[in-house]
A = this chain, B = another copy of it.
Amino acid sequence: MTEFAESAESNLEPRLPVYDAIRRRRDVRAEFTGKPIAENVLERILGAGHSAPSVGNTQPWDFVVVRDPATLHSFADHVADARLRFAQSLPEERKKTFDAIKIEGIRESGMGVVVTYDRGRGGQHILGRHTIDDTGLFSVVLAIQNLWLAAVAENVGIGWVSFYDESYLTELLKIPEPVRPIAWLCVGDVAEFQQVPDLERFGWRGRRPLADAIHFEKF
């Protein structure tokens, strides 16, 4: 990796308990400070993603680190268009609620990590994918959650942006066939983690009780 010097502080792997990381984790939009994160911190976070389980041990993910301001600006403009399209599809009441919600911190974070899925990796016989083809895709998402929780321990915020057209992002980053972009993650130092998720704070949608999600023996 390049660009950022290591610091004595950043050499220490943080020891935040996993349950604390799970509770503290947020989908960050407004809290990025813009302060660059150290090279070895970024490497630890990506290494956490790379330690995820994967179907047939295919490890079908890749991580594209984007810091070029021109690329960040282009992508942010594209996302602004997608936001407008969504707003226009909403009934008036929901549109008002949505207007107050920030959906990305692409420029403010100073860095995007685009996580991709290569369905060609691992050849023809993928142990565990012959019955359920989506398990390849699932592996990439497991890597994203690993990365996300490691980031929390590093005081690094992650904001998953999904207001974009896949074909646009594929072209922007020159992602070759058959690789598919799965997520644009804004990655950056944060001032704080909000205690309540944004969509709950801004009245978009509240929490479902855990008990409602648990069933016994049959659905």
Contact = CB atoms under 8 A, between A and B. Distances in A.
Given A61-B213, A175-B219, A197-B57, A89 B16 contact: no
Secondary structure at chain A's binding surface: helix, strand, loop or mixed?
mixed
A60 to B, nearest CB: 10
Contact of A219 (B61, B179, B208): B179
A158 to B, nearest CB: 9
Interface in A47-69: 47-48, 50-53, 55-59, 61-68
Contacts of A10: none
State the oligomeric state as a number of copies. 2
Nearest to A209: B50
Given A1-B214, A219-B62, A19 B23 contact: no
A138 B219 CA distance: 21
B216 A64 contact: yes
Interface residues of A, number: 100
Contacts of A130: 82, 85-86, 89, 163
A52 B144 CA distance: 12
19 contacts: A13-B19, A19-B48, A19-B150, A22-B149, A43-B210, A50-B210, A52-B145, A53-B148, A53-B197, A57-B199, A57-B206, A62-B215, A63-B214, A82-B130, A130-B163, A131-B164, A137-B137, A138-B141, A145-B146
Contact of A142 (B43, B61, B141, B175): B141
Nearest to A49: B213
